[in-house]
Structure 1
Amino acid sequence: MNGATPNRDEKRYWLDGDVPWLNSSHANRDSVTDADQWVTQDALNEVHLPLLTYGTVLVAITGQGKTRGRATLLEMTATINQHLAGVIPDPERWDARFLTLMLRAAYDELRLISDAGGSTRGALTLASLGGVLVARPPLDEQRAIADHLDRETAKIDTLIAKAERFIELAQERRAALITAAVTGQLEIPAEEPAA
């Protein structure tokens, strides 16, 4: 299922909204835990927006750049616009984290499918998304794979954060060195002439 964009001119759909409303940019995240736009209950009821809950897999069905075909896990209750599809996995057959990972792995296939229509602006349809074949191992194996990948990617994320902090400190040190040198706070030794 996908959603819609309530009329922006209809203030009662947006003003003081308390229902998170997501667009396709959220598909670029690892998971969705917050929103930057909200709609009202009137919008939810009158525009017939789906109310999706934790464990829904969101897939960008349109979008420029790398967005189209991206998948993410919804970790909150929210509604979506027409550029996202919500895939609600059967909890007796699918671990939502595993299905998200499988759809991420199928990104190139999703892009190929979305470009197959011949349009200059590719898009996935709900029917084409529903036709994507993904492996479905037993549920306990899905959970084990998702748990393993959660642990391993957390380690990698920690290393990335440390590397980013190191780069930030190195850039600060570089800027301080330049400032100290050009303001005369640092004595620069004269280079000896080559023999």
Structure 2
Amino acid sequence: MKLTLSQAAEVRLGRQRSPRFESGDHMVPYLRSANVLNGELDLTDVKSMNFAPNEQEIFRLAEGDVLVTEGSGSRETVGMSAVWQGDLPGTVCFQNTLIRLRPRAGVTDGRYLAWWARHAHASGEIAAVASGANILHIGSDGLKRLLINVPSLDEQRRIADFLDHHVARIDQIIAARREQLASIEEQFASVRRVAVLGENGPTRPTDLPWAPRIADSWSVRRLSHLAAMGTGHTPSRNEPSFWVNCDIPWLTTSDVHRFRRDEIDVVTQTTLSISELGLANSAAVIHPVRTVALSRTASAGFAILMGCDMATSQDFVTWTCGPDLIPEYLLHSLRVMRPYLLGYLATGSTHKTIYFPDLMDLRVPLPPLDDQRTAVEQVRRAGLICGEATAALSGQIGLLSEYKESLITAAVTGDLDVTTAGSGIPR
């Protein structure tokens, strides 16, 4: 039987937040969209505001309530849901960034309703009723009109039991694959560190805070003595002519996501470009191929090697290596150094920034060129092995995630008979 969601559940938008509710005699915790992830609640940061006793009766959460995020900047995240299981003691209410679905007695089982909400989000049904320019909003009225397949209560409970069991199994496998991924990445980081610091042979102590020991035959030098340091700039946005015929690669923070996890060593194409005119009328410069760049603001501490001549924004510091330093060795050194850069040099509460005076003082190990080449080759080989294993595990996680969503959809839409279905889940 098909019903509208409003027939199957009470659909209510939460209470609006206001400065006048920030204090009062009836302060109680409340949940907001930040507390709802896809299928689970994050209760590490729960706010409180004043709800009068009569408002508490209206907006109090009861065990089994399904909470749906009402707004988001993305169609992929609007409509995410989770179930309230009385996770916090006492009265807990909810704000208007959430919509509460409360199953109607005798019509809908709460666990079944929760699985339907997971399906409606993953399938895009909820996003389809959202509207807005920058922030998409569902609104309780749009949600109420959605159709939900409502079998008998016994069948709803069978479906919920089936999904509780099988989705938990899939999630366990996904969690195990993610642990394997983390282990592989840790192994690669260890191999890289040993190679960059020469720890696979006799070592000696240093006063480098990020490298207490290096190969005993290597020296330590100031990086600014081994490579020409530079940066970049942004041409004026107030001059439209500077942003016409833009064909010069321009490395900006928009590119950092591509190498945040060291997925690539070399960048040849950038998200944004600048023009010759913009270059000529700003402090931006073109850095030569094989220059090493390090992000120093916002997403700070991430290094990449330029695969062609390119400019950068002021958010990067660059080093063009001299004859004694191989760029690839410097790249891996900066990546080994990242915890020190972020933990000791980066400052700022919201956006971390690494300032130029600190970067000018950086010192690095300086192996003989042959040892640098050996270290780079060791990292390259380890990276290939890591990359293949990571790709295989990531592929498995993707397939398992797709299978999980298809299983949920088939069960709640009636396309799967859960009384006869096998799990089909890999061991």
Partner of 2:376: 146
State the distance in 1 between where 2:346 and 2:411 align: 55
Change (3 A) 1:181 1:137: same
Q: Which stretches in structure 1 are left out of the alignment for 5+ residues? A: 191-195
Residue 170 (structure 1) shift: 1.6
Q: Which moved more, 1:181-190 or 1:165-174?
A: 181-190
Aligned residue for 1:125?
355
> Secondary structure of the equivalent of 1:59?
strand
Sort the Cα spacing of 1:114 and 1:188 in 2 relative to 1 into closer, same or farther, 3 A: closer
Provide the C-alpha distance between the structure 2 equivalents of 1:150 and 1:141, rounded to a whole number of angstroms. Answer: 14
Task: Tell me which residue corresponds to 1:38.
Answer: 273
CA contact (8 A) 1:19 1:41 kept: yes
TM-score between the two structures when normalised by the length of structure 1: 0.83
SS at match of 1:134: strand
Structure 1 residues 1-195: aligned runs within 5 Å: 1-27=230-256, 29=259, 30=264, 31-63=266-298, 67-90=299-322, 92-111=323-342, 112-115=344-347, 122-189=352-419
Q: In terms of mean alpha carbon deviation, does 173-182 or 77-86 score higher?
A: 173-182
Rounded to whole Å, the distance in 1 between the matches of 2:324 and 2:253 is 26
- What amino acid sits opposite 1:34 in the alignment? Q
Q: Report the residue type matching 1:85 in the other structure.
A: V
Q: Is this contact kept in 2: 1:27–1:59, CA < 8 A? A: no
Aligned CA distance change for structure 1 residues 186 and 141 (closer, same or farther; 3 Å):
same
Query: Over residues 133-182 of structure 1, what are the superposed CA-to-partner deviations in whole Å (9 max), with x where a residue is unaligned?
Result: 11010111111111111111121111111111111112222233333334
Partner residue of 2:35?
none
Corresponding residue SS for 2:304: strand
Contact 1:19 1:40 in 2 (8 A): yes
Q: Which is worse superposed, 11-20 or 174-183?
A: 174-183
Q: Which residue of 2 aligns with 1:193?
A: none
Structure number with bigger Rg: 2
DSSP-derived class of the 2:346 partner: helix
Q: What is the distance in 1 between the residues matched to 2:396 and 2:359?
A: 41
The aligned length equals 183
Question: Could you tell me how far apart the structure 2 residues matched to 1:68 and 1:74 are?
Answer: 17
Query: 1:110 and 1:11 mapped to 2: Cα distance?
Result: 37
The 3-state SS of whatever aligns with 1:88 is: strand
Higher strand residue share: 2
Q: Distance in 2 between matches of 1:146 and 1:51?
A: 26
Q: Deviations over 1:4-59 (max 9, x none)?
A: 11111212211220001121343451332211111111111221311012211111
Preserved contact between residue 254 and residue 271 of structure 2 (Cα < 8 Å) = no
Report the Cα distance in structure 1 between the residues aligned to 2:358 and 2:406, rounded to whole angstroms: 55
- 1:123 Cα offset (Å): 3.0
For 1:123, the aligned partner's letter is T
- From the superposition, tell whether residues 27 and 73 of structure 1 become closer, same or farther in structure 2 (CA, over 3 Å): farther
Letter of the 1:106 partner, please give it: M
